[in-house]
Each structure stands twice: as C-alpha cells, then as structure tokens.
Amino acid sequence: MKITRIETIPVRVPLKAELAIRSGRGGGHTNSPFLLVRVHTDAGVAGIGEASCTPRWSGEDQVTGAHLIRTYLEPLLIGEDPKDVAGLTRKFRLAFAGNPFTKAAVEMALWDIAGKAAGKPVYELIGGRVREFVPTKWSVSGVEPERAAAIAGWAVAQGFRAMKVKVGIDPDGDVARVRAVRAAIGPAVKLGVDANGGWSREVAAATIGRLGEFGIYFVEQPLAPEDGVHLSELRKTVQLPIVADESVYTLQDAMMLAQLGAADVFSIYVGKAGGIGPARQIAEFAQIAGLKCTVGSNLELGVGSAAMVHLALATRGIAAEEFPCDIIGPFFYEDDIVQKPLPIVPGAARATATPGLGVELDDEKVERYRVR
C-alpha cells in the first residue's frame, strides 16, 4: 500500500453561542476553524485527520497547514507505506520546525489507514486498551459568575461529575466565578481551575490561596508558558496539583518541567504533541518520572476527538480516573462533520471496535462547512 495524495479541506463549524469560551489566554473562542486532512492510498483506503487551527496556541491556521502539507509533507509521503506510522512521523517531524497541529492531523490519518488495513481500531495498534472508557470533565468558560453557574449546573444535569473553571482573567472575578460554580454544583463534583497562563506570579499565589475554600483539586497553567522556573517556585508553596498545559508541547518540554519540579500533571494533546505517537511518548516519560497526564482540548470535532479517545484508552500514563480528560469538543458545536461520532457522552468517552479511528467524514456536511 502506498500513499498517493493528501487532500486538505478547511472548515468552520459554528459553536453553540451559549457555550462560547472565554479564557485567560486572551481573546474569545467563538468560531472554530479546522483543517481536515484526507490521506489517499493506491489501495482505495483513505485515512482522515483534523487540525485545530488555533494561531494563539501554535501559530498555525488553515492556510499555513494546507501550505505546509502541500509543500513539504505530501512530497515526502507520496509513495510511502502509510502503515509505517512511527517511521513516517519521525521523518516528517524534521521536514519543518514546529507546527504540531498540522503534523498531528496527518499522523492521525496514517493511524486511521493503518487501523483500516489491519482491521483493528487504533487503540489496539498502539498497545491495546488499558481502560473501558475515558472519564471526562466539563470546562466552564470565563464568563460572569451567574452564567458560569448556570453552565456548570447544566453540565451536572447532563451527567458530568468533574469540571474545571476558566480563571486567569481578573482575580476578583475569578474568585466570584469559582464561588458561584461551587455553589451551583454542590460539594460532590470534582472542581479544578485553568488560568491559561493569565496570572502573574503574585496574583497566582494570592488567588490560589483565596480559591482554597471552594475545594478545588488542581490548578492548571497558573503562569505564562515560558515561566517554568517560577512555576516550580509556585508549586512549592501550593498544596494542590499543578497541571502544565501551554508549557508542554514536546517531550523535551515535559522533561524540562520534570527537571524543574514545576508540575504534577501534564495536559497532553494529540495536536500539541504532533500526533498520537508523540503524545504517548510524553505519557510514557511522565509515568517513568512519577508524574501524571491528562488529555486537554482545543474543542476538537469528531475526528480529532476520536484520536483523543484512542490515545487515552490505550495509554497507561494518562491518569484519566484521577484527572478526567477534556474530551468534550463535540458538545460545543451545532453540528459535526463526521457521519457517526464515537460514543462520547457527558463524563465518559468511548471508542467502538470499528477499524481505524472509527469515524468517517460526512461529505455533505463537509461541503456545508467548507471555507471557500
């Protein structure tokens, strides 16, 4: 089997207005551009992938992704056997620097082909499942307290038993939002906070102290991504697990944070890491280093979400039972571009035994949401 062509399709799917995200990373998240990828082969089998186009995270968008794939990855991959996923990933990692979300879209499409060729779901190809389902948590946007409380209450009614609240916007507002959410969900729901790097050192220390009374179980990315040394200092003074998200894209980032003692948990993404395989390497390292992982999200559609489910089902270093994963993208959208999404329900994400990623593009919907 040989790769013959890589097709890229820019799409934009509307978010449900009531769930649009506001965070400490700046800006809002009100529309979601993605670049879909279809890797074609001479055997009539095609694999699909999805890149979250989040320039604030990685500098990538639909135009850069399509350009890099057409100019560098397609020439490198044409004629190659798509089933050699790890070998090809090593090869194209060096084709251009950075741009992990673009690389991840192609990598997951290769896994999709490899699974279809082997007649096995991707989780079986990457080591087999270590859990029946992936526990997930909800994410409450950094909106005003009353609205945050209403969203949190809705999430509990849907079945979520863990969630996080976006903070890092302004300290008093952050505290008011977390207080309102805790009041709305009661004491039994696990609650964490995610500052998306929006706090200064002083504000982080003071605000985490103020949040103590609301029974939070982790603090995610309290400081700017580059601030590993101070994150390590902050961690020594905080009694809660520190989750590193924007600070950890690569295995090298994870190793550096471990060396600094700057985090308890890594939030890994298929997109940030540049694929399912590279994300698993971070989780394997974390396990050896005595650290934990969860899976974070850029609110993926059905293809990206499927890649996350397979990763988390088959990766022991992902401590999903203790730190539920953010496999919640599909809940945020009016519609999806896959024919039949994986069974991702509130609080639990599952895969099926369908070969590959287990989802197929719905051509009619892809055309409806295509960016022209």
Q: Rule CB under 5 A: which residues touch Mg ion?
A: 194, 220, 245
Is the Cα torsion angle 354, 360, 362, 368 positive or negative in sign?
Answer: positive
Cα–Cα distance for residue pair 312/317, rounded to 1 Å: 9
Residue 102 or 297 with smaller CB distance to Mg ion: 297
Q: Is residue 19 a contact partner of residue 31, using CB atoms and an 8 Å limit?
A: no
Residue 74 or 245 with smaller CB distance to Mg ion: 245
Name the burial class of residue 89, with classes exposed (0-12), middle (13-18) and buried (19+) by CB atoms within 10 angstroms of its CB: buried
Q: Which residue is nearest to Mg ion (CB)?
A: 245
Return phi, psi of residue 188, to 5°. -85, -20
Closest among 146, 131, 39 to 327, alpha carbons compared: 131
Cα 357 to Cα 281, 285, 305, 345, distances in angstroms: 19, 25, 10, 17
Q: Between β-strands 242-244 and 216-220, what pairing exists: parallel, antiparallel or unpaired?
A: parallel
Residue 88 or 312 with smaller CB distance to Mg ion: 312
Q: Is residue 328 a contact partner of residue 159, using CB atoms and an 8 Å limit?
A: no
Residue 137 DSSP class: -
Residue 124 or 245 with smaller CB distance to Mg ion: 245
CB of 245 to Mg ion, least distance (A): 4
Residue 124 or 220 with smaller CB distance to Mg ion: 220
CB of 58 to Mg ion, least distance (A): 14
Cα 138 to Cα 32, 315, 342, distances in angstroms: 18, 21, 18
CB of 370 to Mg ion, least distance (A): 29
Residue 66 or 140 with smaller CB distance to Mg ion: 140
Cα–Cα distance for residue pair 357/372, rounded to 1 Å: 27
CB of 99 to Mg ion, least distance (A): 20
Amino acid found at 284? E
CB of 254 to Mg ion, least distance (A): 15
Q: Is residue 257 a contact partner of residue 247, using CB atoms and an 8 Å limit?
A: yes
Residue 85 or 193 with smaller CB distance to Mg ion: 193
Residue 129 or 137 with smaller CB distance to Mg ion: 137
CB of 197 to Mg ion, least distance (A): 9
CB of 20 to Mg ion, least distance (A): 16
Q: Is residue 349 a contact partner of residue 134, using CB atoms and an 8 Å limit?
A: yes
CB of 364 to Mg ion, least distance (A): 33
